């Protein structure tokens, strides 16, 4: 999940949905905020285990991605295309009971595709290499970071919408990664930026979780169709990802597509499915 959340084009929510613990993830977040003491205790136990893995994974991703992300963007993009394309049939199989016979809800799939595609297409920084200057932290910039974090974490929770892509749109992707990397090296000058970003994440989780929980419980068929659309739309976001870099590169083409990394992505998803079945046994 952390690796997916840290790379534009893919959401950690997609990984959670794929591995079958998305409902538990959402319910645990909801119970932690709105539940009884017993529900909060159970939710905290689950989220601590998940959180430890996420923090370790995100820390490793930050250290690696800041060094290789731009120079190997096409390989990274091909890897995550393998993730998504291999994931969609698995999601359809897992949720076949709520999608079969309800094909009128395909409108929600097209809506999901449109949302991600329009966000990507109308990205105001694509091709311009814009990034927010963090050297002069003022009230306006702090408010901007807080609001962007709220929106980005909402996207990270939802399968198919990439919070990292939204951070790229806001011009905050690389500045935030660099700030986190500096803090990991005990450079405390980066602490205010990371702290404000963290507060925005907490606020976003509190707001969005209740909405997602209600959607999954009362409108699961429509929600699953929407999630599939978001995942399909994220393929376009991945293709266009290189154009949103600080130093823009051409969108992915057949010439820059890396088949080896695509196959590696597919193998990872299949391997995770096998691991899930083994764990269930």
For the chain, 281 residues long, the average pLDDT of each consecutive 10-residue run is 71 75 85 87 91 85 71 84 84 84 91 82 52 69 86 72 70 79 82 89 82 82 86 82 75 92 89 77 70
Q: Which of 237, 204, 115, 164 is nearest to 4 (CA)?
A: 164
On whether the CB atoms of residues 8 and 23 are closer than 8 A, the answer is no
Per-residue pLDDT at 126: 47
Q: Rounded to whole angstroms, how far apart are CA atoms 255 and 22?
A: 36
Q: Which of 208, 199, 214 is nearest to 33 (CA)?
A: 208
Per-residue pLDDT at 236: 85
Per-residue pLDDT at 67: 67
Give the long-range contacts of residues 201-208, CB within 8 A, separation 24 or more: 201/149, 201/150, 201/152, 201/153, 203/146, 203/149, 203/150, 204/149, 204/150, 204/151, 204/152, 204/153, 204/154, 205/29, 205/33, 205/153, 205/157, 206/33, 207/150, 207/154, 208/153, 208/154, 208/157, 208/158
Placement of tokens 């419980």 in the chain: 217
Q: Rounded to whole angstroms, how far apart are CA atoms 80 and 184?
A: 26
Per-residue pLDDT at 42: 92
**What's the predicted TM-score (pTM) here?**
0.71
Per-residue pLDDT at 128: 45
Per-residue pLDDT at 244: 67
Q: Rounded to whole angstroms, how far apart are CA atoms 120 and 116?
A: 6
Q: Rounded to whole angstroms, how far apart are CA atoms 170 and 168?
A: 5
Per-residue pLDDT at 206: 81
């Amino acid at each position: 999940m952390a690796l997916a959340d840290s790379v534009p084009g893919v959401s950690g929510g997609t990984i959670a949905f794929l591995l079958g613990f998305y409902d538990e993830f959402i319910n645990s977040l909801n119970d932690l905020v709105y539940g009884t003491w017993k529900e909060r205790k159970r939710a905290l136990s689950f989220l601590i285990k998940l959180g430890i893995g996420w923090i370790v994974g995100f820390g490793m991703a930050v250290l690696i991605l800041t060094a290789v992300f731009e120079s190997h963007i096409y390989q990274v993009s091909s890897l995550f295309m393998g993730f998504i394309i291999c994931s969609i049939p698995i999601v359809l199989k897992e949720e076949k009971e709520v999608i079969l016979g309800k094909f009128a809800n395909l409108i929600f799939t097209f809506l999901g595709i449109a949302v991600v595609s329009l966000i990507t297409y109308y990205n105001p920084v694509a091709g311009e290499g814009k990034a927010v200057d963090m050297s002069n932290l003022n009230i306006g910039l702090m408010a901007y970071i807080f609001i962007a974090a709220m929106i980005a974490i909402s996207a990270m929770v939802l399968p198919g919408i990439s919070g990292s892509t939204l951070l790229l749109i806001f011009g905050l992707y690389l500045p935030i990664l660099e700030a986190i990397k500096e803090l990991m090296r005990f450079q405390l000058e980066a602490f205010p930026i990371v702290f404000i970003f963290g507060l925005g994440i907490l606020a976003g989780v509190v707001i969005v979780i209740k909405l997602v929980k209600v959607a999954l419980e009362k409108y699961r068929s429509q929600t699953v169709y929407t999630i599939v659309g978001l995942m399909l739309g994220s393929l376009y976001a991945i293709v266009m990802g290189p154009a949103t870099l600080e130093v823009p590169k051409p969108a992915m083409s057949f010439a820059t597509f890396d088949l080896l990394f695509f196959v590696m992505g597919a193998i990872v998803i299949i391997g995770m499915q096998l691991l899930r079945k083994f764990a269930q046994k």
